[in-house]
Amino acid sequence: MSGGRKVLLFAAAFLFFGCVGAYIIYTYVLPAHESNKLARVAETLHAAQSEPPSVGPQPVYDVVLPKYDTLLAENADLRGWLRVPEYGVDLPVVQGPDNDYYLRRSFDGAWSVAGTPFFDYRISDFVNLPRNTVVYGHNMRRNDIMFGVFQNLRTVEGYRKCPVIGLDTLYRDYRWFVYAVFITNIDPAQDNGYFFEYNFIDASDEAFSDYVNELDLRKFYTTGVDLTPQDKLLTISTCCYDFKNARLVVVARMQRENEPDTPDTSHAQVNPEPKYPQVWYSANKLTNPYAADFHYQPE
């Protein structure tokens, strides 16, 4: 074999094994490392928690719950906690100066492929909460250390296993009843120039009503949970892979006073024709039946 061929063979082998090594590190090693770090953060919280998380409506307090003291000393950006035991979710939720800061930062501030779940930076009142509390997190696709588990809520069966999400603040614990799950775009060009602003923070009653009407068109199924203008929402946004820059969105409403801790899931029914962005219809070679419809425009 000539010297030139040996060099090419060596370079090809080096590239191949380098790619394999990078794939293993990115897919298995780093997620495992970050999973261990997250488990350590959760253990710190649970060790400081003298009793199980509270359930049901509680008075609103403006004093940080003692169970968060240790973690707040580690990271002053901590704002709450996400609990979905049915799918193994037990994660801190932080807030950065913008919606990019924690995309690739772990709870301790180190670079992280999975980032840390975070509240929308526009939320300023964690004692009372705005009309729509928005939380973002990665879907790592090949593992479930972050928000990939919410893919389970795309089906009625997945919803019936997990109709309640625990999203707490530093001041109190909350239960949120799942209302809708859908996919959407973030690039207006993917939906005939339209972006469904599901991640608003506050809105007028009229805009809220229009939003709910649009939400009802898009949801994969009806849960039987209702919404009123007096309700507050939780919106969980994560990436999915139905098309480029697709988002899976879970919308839940805060448990009302004197409501049971779990909704009646027997009312859940599949939506036979949920509304998708144009890019979804194009990718599936289907006609968009909603193309000419009026779109909700937030105020």
Does residue 221 have a pLDDT over 90? yes
Range of the domain at 213: 23-283
DSSP letter assigned to residue 124: -
Q: Total structural domains in the chain?
A: 1
Q: Indicate whether 110 belongs to any domain.
A: yes
Any residues with CB less than 8 A from the CB of 281 and at least 6 apart, and which?
Answer: 287, 288
What's the pLDDT tens digit per position in 73-112?
A: 999 999 999 999 999 999 999 999 999 999 999 999 999 9
CA distance 76 to 65: 14
65 domain-assigned = yes
Q: Compute the distance between CA of residue 50 and CA of residue 42 in angstroms, rounded to an integer.
A: 14
How far is residue 259's CA from residue 49's CA, in Å, rounded to a whole number?
25
Percent of the chain topping pLDDT 90: 72
**Which domain CATH number covers 117?**
2.40.260.10
Query: Is 102 within 8 Å of 135 (Cβ atoms)?
Result: no
Q: Examine residue 156 and state whether it is found in any structural domain, yes or no.
A: yes
Residue 288, in any domain of the structure? no
Examine residue 93 and state whether it is found in any structural domain, yes or no.
yes
pLDDT digits over 253-268, tens only? Answer: 999 999 999 999 999 9
Q: Which letter does DSSP use for residue 29 in this model?
A: I
- Report in angstroms the alpha-carbon separations of 292 from 152, 191, 192, 196, 283: 31, 12, 10, 15, 19
* Residue 92 covered by a domain: yes
Q: Report the pLDDT value the prediction gives residue 291, as an integer from 0 to 100.
A: 81
- Residue 10 covered by a domain: no
User: CB atoms < 10 A from the CB of 270, how many?
Assistant: 11
Examine the pLDDT at 14 and tell me if it is beyond 80: no
For the segment 127-150, what is each residue's pLDDT rounded down to a tens digit? 999 999 999 999 976 666 789 999
- Number of neighbours of residue 159 by Cβ within 10 angstroms: 20
**294 part of a folded domain:** no
